[in-house]
Structure 1
């Protein structure tokens, strides 16, 4: 090998170099004369073993073949680790994707089955209570695994949903058994009376158009004077045409005023504190 020959030659060179000029103690000491004619002593600060070890270490570091072998060993070790880890990583990812896909498919089938079971429970209600009390619907379907490295057979999946048949709805509301139902009445947001009849004419807003110049002398059904509406006519003069109601005491410059809208609510009669009954329907 070229490297071994070079190493042998280098060892011989080091031996000859260290042998030249050595004294009995093994330390190189010889005299030499400088350019001015003065005699000086030369002393080597290292012995043969230290020099040989240093040169060998330098040779090992600077040798391209030795460094290439060390680098090749590291790369080979990394390639082996990669070959072992990558298949395990891909296998884990494929397994995770398969679990997610089968969960999605099963959830979709179960949702459809629940809707069908509720619908079947509604149709199964028979007057007289002679029908079944519970309905069970099965669902069987096949699933093909995704992302498998080898072909796998289809998997049979079985779902089952059990529901109680629909038995109707009670109109008693929040009232307990044996307790009489409380009367319900109709009220408005700004009204002072309650109404038992939803078709009472006082619940219907009947607008009338009057001339703005004659609103000062106009009166409502109770003989009251009309005043400007706080919502649409505040600090404004009457328009050419104003809108009024027979029982109200406000005139409106806009037909779309929010005060002209009647909001009717259905409440229990026990909740209308301080309100009197309507003179027409109460």
Structure 2
């Protein structure tokens, strides 16, 4: 009786196909990581660009608001000018400050022409300046949308004794700050009139951390410095970047010493 021999089927294994144990799984893991990276990376870049844009918006608002405050404060010290001349003086000083501080005007809708002064008021004894402008939002955040911003600065105008800053009763007038230890003979002193710049943290290695906003805090990618300062700041609203100035008679400065930059003049 003839014998029937069955041909055994060959066992299929990864080794016969030239693949080692675990190689297939490792290739799958690498592929999955590549897919995850392709999905997550665009969102990460989107978030980073959005955060940087928001920092730029904050910088723009600070520069514009600071320029308005300085222009109003300087004009308020000028006596015996008509309200119309006072308003023109505020506008002139304001635009000069924007240019001096390298304000990113391109972010404002219509540029300089997009700044509205319609609701500003000037009188013989006060200045009430109000500006409005729109910040252009990029398409990836809000397409064809504008961010409306309003800045207001109020100040009483100087109505004191006219002259060159001195009289027989009060003597010479000087400038001081609430927390300062010196007095200034010039309001244009660089200790009082700060010029603020934003730089990357690597460029501020020669500056020490501000005691008010940066000491003990993690340094941010962008920091703020002044031309004559020795500290870097991580917040634009830091008190070290602001100056509250008082005009007082020299005989009332008590134990304050003269400023090393302008007190000797």
Q: TM-score, normalised by structure 1?
A: 0.31
Larger radius of gyration: 1
Q: TM-score, normalised by structure 2?
A: 0.33
Q: Which has the higher contact order (CA 8 A, sep 6+)?
A: 2
